[in-house]
Structure 1
Amino acid sequence: MSAPTGGPAQAAPAPRRSRPRIRVRTRTVTVLAGCLILLAAALVAGVRTLRQEPTVTLLANWTGTDEQDFRDAVLKPFERRHHIHVDYQGSSAESEVLGADVEAGTPPDVVVLTGPGELAAYARQGQLKQVDDLLPRSGFGASWTTPLDGHVYWFPFKADLKSLVWYPAGTSAQQLAAAATRPGQWCLGMGSGATSGWPGTDWIEDILLQRSGPDVYQRWARGELPWQSREVKEAWTTWGRMVGAGGDPALVRRALKTPYQDASEPVTRTPRGCTLEHQASFIRNQDAWKRVDGRYVPSARLIPGARADDAWLVSGDLVALLHDTSPARTLIRYLASADAQRAWSTREFSFSVSPEAQPAPGAGGTAWHHALATTLLDDRAVHCFDGSDAMPPSVRDAFAEATIEYLAHPDHLDALLKNLDSLRQTHGLTWLQSVCDRTS
């Protein structure tokens, strides 16, 4: 700021003897002004402190555009309504972040994770708080809120259906059947940073479910059925034949080096680089499937030997409570509410399994989206949670790594399954006793 026009430079000269007093008076005024400014700042800070809203910390996996959408559609309405500030941290490595925070004694108040197996381990350690009394009366299905020691410790905020194969609009049934027998026609990308390999675990889980049924699948997912059993081993070899494990080096290399979110890109080329993708419902929002107007078929129609009747692999983003504070409990109730779940599913074009959160009849949306939403809520169908997500973290991670090894070296399968059985028998692991909402 420029000097004031009425400053000393324009004042009349003063006698020499009066100058010291003028300087002293100027310094006094300056000091006084500074004190008044500091006092005002202190008063403002004090008022802000008195009016400060309570805060709740939240860790989830939404980053970038997804994070902004989550803030706009879910968090901002919560903050306005309840006058509680949400200190949000988004990370694609949320499991690692949470583990470090728990070890340091500074975990978030609320967390959103994809793995009930990981949450079960935290619950057994006493890190999670019960949420039984915070959920709506309509509740969620048994495969989504699996009780542990008689209490519920998590609930789904977002759901996905996984027993799906996507294909471009205009592909005939005969073309689908033919493509399913050609490994090069499957769009497959195994890359996902620290969690690489999970697209392979989805494949093997779904094949086991569709070929052997929910009873066998649930025994395996809760650690009772050996990895070296006939049913599990055949699920691996069936996947290997379908996608060409150990076959064409260029094909295997493409699958191993491609990030899962880029796997469908070749479907837009001319001629197409691939036609089919075994992937969860969220993949339909990828640009490639939008451009080719992606459609889906239940995976059971293309998996050799499938015999399960209306059985579906599912997954979800699960909310859990680590600090039992009033702001955190308020956020839990809100995230479990129909309003919050509907807002998020509408913004993300995803799914909620809250019966109260479904859009009204005649609401906007595509036919495929409505059909999948109906399947997720169909109480005549069997919904089984993603097996690797339900397993103890050490087994989950080894499973994902083994799919990568098997894809390149299928002759290593016996050793891989033996190693997974050794891990399964490790003392002290927490296994969920139910991953399917019902079995036959």
Structure 2
Amino acid sequence: MNASPGGPATAVPSTRSRPSRRLLRGITVVASCLALLAAAVVVGVRALDEEPTVTLLANWTGEDEEHFRQAVIEPFERKYHIHVDYQGSNAESQVLGADVEAGTPPDVVVLTGPGELAEYARQKQLVPLEQLVETKDFGPSWALPLADGHVYWFPLKADLKSIVWYPADVGEQQRARAVRRPAEWCVGMGSGATSGWPGTDWIEDILLQRYGTQVYEKWARGALSWRSPQVREAWKAWGKLVGAGGDRELLRRILKTPYQDASRPVTARPRGCTLEHQASFIRARPAWQRADGRYVPSARLIPGATGTHAWEVSGDLVALLHATPEATKLIRHLASADAQQAWSDRESGFSVHAGVRPAPGGTDPDWRRSLARTLRDPHEARCFDASDAMPPAVRDAFAEATIEFLADPGHLEDLLHSLDTLSGTRDLTWLPSVCDRRTP
């Protein structure tokens, strides 16, 4: 599962006292009135100016939102004289679900989950993109045709996941020793409404590196039991690496730490942890910048990996809900090489657009150039993040189960049985493929 940046996040519930229902109700009413008044003022001003507008929902907040506005949105607004009404939320799935149910969805959305988008496509909420976007610029593994033959999304940003970060001054022998010491792993399971997804990334990657793309894809498409020997062993291997059910203080730290803060101990004195299994976006965190973070393919460190590794990847995927003239212009802009290049150059992510080129003069650091090459190399085997590709209900249950497993690995069989039962529910939407079709 991909990250949802912005805001505090923990994997355990808060114990603070809560205000009274009457007070909350009063605050809610006042806040709602103020929000409606503000919205009315904005709508009125735009109506007077006759300013065309397109609404966009994504998960970028804070510095990422600022980069996105500067590199992508503002050039579009200047060129087309169309205002982009942008909403950034670290709970965008919940926001989108509520908006769709209320009949007021945004024109354009950026989501990390193709499984979620596939469900919206089945509900006829999404507009096919073949007439608007050159899908061949991204390749079939990124702009995936569904069973009806249509393409409903393309990536604006991509990340590599099958990697382990370490400080530049930590050598190969130190890394080999650290792998088998749970306290040496920098792990944070917190992510607000999506807490637990770092654990799903671990289990997915272990399965991929141990058993290959065919087993991984079969499982990610709902055709392999959660209680299969391969999936069960992937859970157990992860539990052993990070100390599931062991040291209570270590587990408390793992469960309470937001994923974006997991690397902080890397720069502590003495150093609090050494290795982090996390996607390429984490290199932007201050701790890894100070530690001059380097990476190694996870296949070199995961016990039992076959050595012929594939890469787990993720992406922020653009989809269209309303084909207004303004929205279709924005879709074409977001899919263009220029917009993708501008976003990539801000180092907020990577683009897999065929027209995007590396920074001129070799100005990118080595780690960034090598990550970009791997994401775009046609000879590399890549599989999309399995939990992101699963139906939303299964994805969310998977993330919750990782938290329960960490606290008590003795419940593994019950957790896997529940996930099997949920995955067998009728009318779930599973993707036809999650790995490159050229992979063995």
Q: TM-score range by the shorter chain?
A: 0.7 to 0.9
Query: For each residue in 1:159-209, what CA deviation from the matched residue of structure 2 results, as whole angstroms up to 9, or x when unmatched?
Result: 000000000002111111000011110000000000000000000000000
Which residue number corresponds to residue 434 of structure 1?
433
Root-mean-square deviation (Å) = 1.6
Query: Cα 1:319–1:277, aligned 2, differ >3 Å: closer, same or farther?
Result: same
Kept in 1, the 8 Å contact 2:51–2:83? The answer is yes
* Mapping 1:41-190, distance limit 5 Å: 52-136=50-134, 138-148=136-146, 149-190=148-189
Aligned residues: 396
Kept in 2, the 8 Å contact 1:138–1:356? The answer is no
Query: Cα 1:179–1:133, aligned 2, differ >3 Å: closer, same or farther?
Result: same
Query: Cα 1:48–1:427, aligned 2, differ >3 Å: closer, same or farther?
Result: closer
Q: Does 1:254 align with 2:221?
A: no
Kept in 1, the 8 Å contact 2:208–2:309? The answer is no
Greater mean deviation of Cα atoms: 264-273 or 220-229: 264-273
Kept in 2, the 8 Å contact 1:228–1:414? The answer is yes
2: CA distance between counterparts of 1:128 and 1:160? 24
Deviation at 1:276, TM superposition (A): 0.2
The amino acid that maps onto 1:312 is W
**Higher-Rg member (1/2):** 1
The amino acid that maps onto 1:292 is A
Query: Cα 1:300–1:390, aligned 2, differ >3 Å: closer, same or farther?
Result: same
Deviation at 1:363, TM superposition (A): 4.2
Deviation at 1:53, TM superposition (A): 2.7
Kept in 1, the 8 Å contact 2:64–2:348? The answer is no
2: CA distance between counterparts of 1:310 and 1:336? 30
Kept in 2, the 8 Å contact 1:213–1:308? The answer is no
2: CA distance between counterparts of 1:369 and 1:184? 28
Kept in 2, the 8 Å contact 1:188–1:277? The answer is yes
Which residue number corresponds to residue 240 of structure 2?
241
2: CA distance between counterparts of 1:161 and 1:427? 32
Deviation at 1:360, TM superposition (A): 5.1
The amino acid that maps onto 1:332 is I
Query: Cα 1:46–1:209, aligned 2, differ >3 Å: closer, same or farther?
Result: closer
2: CA distance between counterparts of 1:220 and 1:233? 12
Which residue number corresponds to residue 307 of structure 1?
306
2: CA distance between counterparts of 1:181 and 1:48? 59
Kept in 2, the 8 Å contact 1:73–1:343? The answer is yes
Which residue number corresponds to residue 29 of structure 1?
none
| Structure 2 stretches lacking a partner, 5+ long | 1-42
Query: Cα 1:49–1:276, aligned 2, differ >3 Å: closer, same or farther?
Result: closer
Kept in 1, the 8 Å contact 2:167–2:292? The answer is yes
Query: For each residue in 1:103-159, what CA deviation from the matched residue of structure 2 results, as whole angstroms up to 9, or x when unmatched?
Result: 000000000000000000000000000001211364212221121110100000000
Deviation at 1:385, TM superposition (A): 0.3
2: CA distance between counterparts of 1:330 and 1:245? 49
Which residue number corresponds to residue 339 of structure 1?
338
Q: Does 1:277 align with 2:279?
A: no
Q: How high is the TM-score relative to the length of structure 2?
A: 0.88
Task: Say which SS state the counterpart of residue 88 (structure 1) adopts.
Answer: strand
2: CA distance between counterparts of 1:389 and 1:335? 22
2: CA distance between counterparts of 1:241 and 1:172? 23
Which residue number corresponds to residue 418 of structure 1?
417
Kept in 2, the 8 Å contact 1:310–1:381? The answer is no
